[in-house]
């Protein structure tokens, strides 16, 4: 019988029982792929992060949803870095380099004392296309979204800062709260378009200092709705830059709120760096809090 340490972390929040829950295995050496998937399925959090040794970098990270491994996701990266800084390296005020399924990424550890704000680089923003009329009609049907509720300020687009994701803007918080997603239909759209998630957002916010309010659905990987999605926050930041939904000054440092409809309010900080008015680099970060520590008994 092998005992393996496990941590439960709430990410993109500084309060327990809010933000996005994450399971972290801080010493994952020796675990097989099947064991990692079994652990992720057993705990059932949106994702489980496995920290492994790396040659030349601080650590290597593998990420599993309850049903499959995924190459990149924001809240597991931030939550795993929180555990690494808090328990393994005791690092502060420096830069971490870690391996992911999309390459080596950096995380800046802000502040001399915990809680640390952790800011991660994401993949280079890529515009992968707009939504055609047929798929837009199907998406509105899948979300039970009245076309009158969609904003005329921008059209639905597929953006990637690591994962291809679709973003659609609606007029206000009421339109978001009234969504009743059909997850089978959303999964079909994800599979047809090669997506990992659909983000629906509005510029109307609960908190006056936030710039956007987001809901994010990823049923294709076993996550019906995400309470705080770092990858989606990065993609949304790029979308807002491309469509002129925020000033250049605001894009340098703003926040996105998420998870309110799930009773798990979250705050994600976003920085979009521009070159010739186009998004060149996106950084996303926030705070995390450890909820519990324990062990798993493995055969």
Residue 34: strand, helix, or coil: helix
What lies within 8 Å, CB to CB, of 228 at 6+ separation is 11, 12, 13, 19, 20, 75, 258, 259, 264, 266, 268, 286
The alpha carbon torsion through 278, 279, 280, 284 (nearest 10 deg) reads: 170
> What token pair was written down for 149?
């509720």
What lies within 8 Å, CB to CB, of 285 at 6+ separation is 78, 107, 108, 110, 117, 118, 119, 120, 268, 269
CA distances from 73 to 47, 57, 60, 121, 209 (A): 9, 19, 14, 12, 25
How far, in Å, CA of 76 to CA of 95, rounded? Answer: 17
CA distances from 273 to 29, 123, 236, 267 (A): 36, 12, 13, 20
| Candidates 3, 47, 87, 249; catalytic one | 47
Helix ranges restricted to H, 10-107: 33-43, 74-83
Q: Which helix (H) or strand (E) holds 54?
A: none
- Whether omega for the bond prior to residue 115 falls within 30 degrees of 0, making it cis, is yes
> What token pair was written down for 297?
């008994």
Backbone angles phi, psi at 78, to 5 degrees: -70, -40
3 is catalytic: no
> Catalytic positions, please?
47
């Amino acid at each position: 019988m092998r005992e393996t340490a496990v941590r439960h972390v709430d990410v993109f929040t500084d309060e327990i029982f809010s933000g996005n829950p994450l399971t972290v295995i801080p010493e994952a050496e020796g675990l097989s792929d099947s064991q990692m998937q079994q652990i992720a399925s057993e705990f059932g959090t949106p994702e489980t992060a496995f920290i492994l040794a790396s040659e030349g970098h601080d650590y290597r990270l593998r990420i599993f949803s309850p049903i499959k491994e995924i190459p990149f996701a924001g809240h597991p990266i931030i939550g795993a870095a929180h555990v690494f800084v808090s328990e393994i390296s005791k690092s502060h005020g420096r830069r971490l380099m870690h391996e992911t399924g999309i390459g080596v990424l950096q995380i800046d550890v802000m502040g001399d004392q915990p809680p640390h704000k952790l800011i991660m680089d994401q993949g280079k923003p890529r515009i992968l296309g707009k939504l055609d009329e047929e798929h837009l009609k199907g998406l509105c049907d899948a979300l039970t979204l009245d076309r009158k509720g969609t904003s005329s300020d921008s059209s639905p687009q597929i953006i990637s800062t690591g994962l291809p994701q679709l973003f659609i803007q609606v007029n206000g918080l009421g339109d978001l709260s009234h969504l009743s997603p059909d997850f089978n239909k959303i999964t079909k759209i994800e599979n047809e378009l090669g997506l990992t998630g659909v983000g629906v957002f509005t510029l109307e916010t609960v908190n006056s200092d936030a710039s956007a309010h987001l809901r994010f659905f990823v049923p294709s990987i076993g996550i019906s709705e995400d309470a705080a999605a770092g990858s989606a926050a990065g993609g949304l930041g790029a979308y807002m830059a491309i469509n002129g939904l925020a000033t250049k000054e605001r894009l340098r440092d703003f926040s996105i709120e998420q998870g309110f409809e799930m009773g798990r309010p979250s705050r994600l900080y976003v920085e979009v760096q521009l070159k010739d008015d186009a998004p060149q680099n996106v950084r996303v970060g926030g705070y995390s809090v450890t909820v519990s520590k324990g062990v798993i008994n493995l055969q």
